[in-house]
A and B are shown apart, each in its own frame.
Chain A
């Protein structure tokens, strides 16, 4: 079965500090990993996906199959990064997305 774990419900950092949101998963097959973000009063939206290997808004995430992790990182946090972040997994070629519990990131001035 697919499972996603985000160990931190809340994470607070100061502006300009590095930030890392942790995500671990369990799935025996070939997973597709995603990070979704929900800003205040906005709908849930895709931030990035591992197959694209891209950096969005300064965020990056590397899939580590050995550690079954997909941590989200940003070297210098900004106040506008404050939001709810969800790690998600789907089976290859499937749209049955399984989400972690989410981490609320607060970036303080």
Chain B
């Protein structure tokens, strides 16, 4: 079956703008998580959505937000972009039914450059 799909793969934005990234999970997966990856900070957990509700949240400012739709597809939004937001944004999906042994599958990521 198709893997986790993220769009767009690459984008360039200007400081102060906002951006929306999209993630389509593996069919049947109800949990979608978002991560930010940078050379300096590594992989950092942003938030997780399950059945359209944010279930877990990392330590990011309110400029970072997300949502999940009824078909489990998810979007994340970053408002008032800063240079430091330049990163690879990874989406991951899993069954999310509460059994922590569920495997999390990652997408290829969206490369965001803020200039």
Residue contact B101 to A32, C-beta cutoff 8 Å: yes
* Interface assignment of B89: CB less than 8 Å from any CB of chain A: no
Residue contact B90 to A95, C-beta cutoff 8 Å: no
Residue contact B100 to A94, C-beta cutoff 8 Å: yes
Picked from A97, A101, A102, the residue with its CB within 8 Å of the CB of B45 is A97
* Interface assignment of B58: CB less than 8 Å from any CB of chain A: yes
* Interface assignment of B55: CB less than 8 Å from any CB of chain A: yes
A-B CB pair tally, cutoff 8 Å:
61
Interface SS of chain B:
strand
Q: Give the shortest distance, in Å, between A16 (CB) and chain B (any CB).
A: 30
Minimal Cβ-Cβ distance residue in B for A32: B100
Give the number of chain A interface residues (Cβ < 8 Å).
22
Picked from A32, A90, A97, A102, the residue with its CB within 8 Å of the CB of B42 is A102
* Interface assignment of A57: CB less than 8 Å from any CB of chain B: no
Residue contact B102 to A100, C-beta cutoff 8 Å: no
* Interface assignment of B78: CB less than 8 Å from any CB of chain A: no
* Interface assignment of B72: CB less than 8 Å from any CB of chain A: no
Q: Which residues of B contact A (CB under 8 A)?
A: 3, 31, 33, 35, 42-45, 48, 50, 55-58, 90, 92, 94, 96, 98-109
- Beyond A96-B45, A96-B48, 19 additional contacts (C-beta under 8 Å) are A32-B100, A32-B101, A45-B105, A46-B103, A49-B103, A51-B101, A90-B100, A91-B100, A93-B99, A94-B100, A95-B33, A95-B48, A95-B50, A95-B56, A95-B96, A95-B100, A96-B56, A99-B42, A102-B42
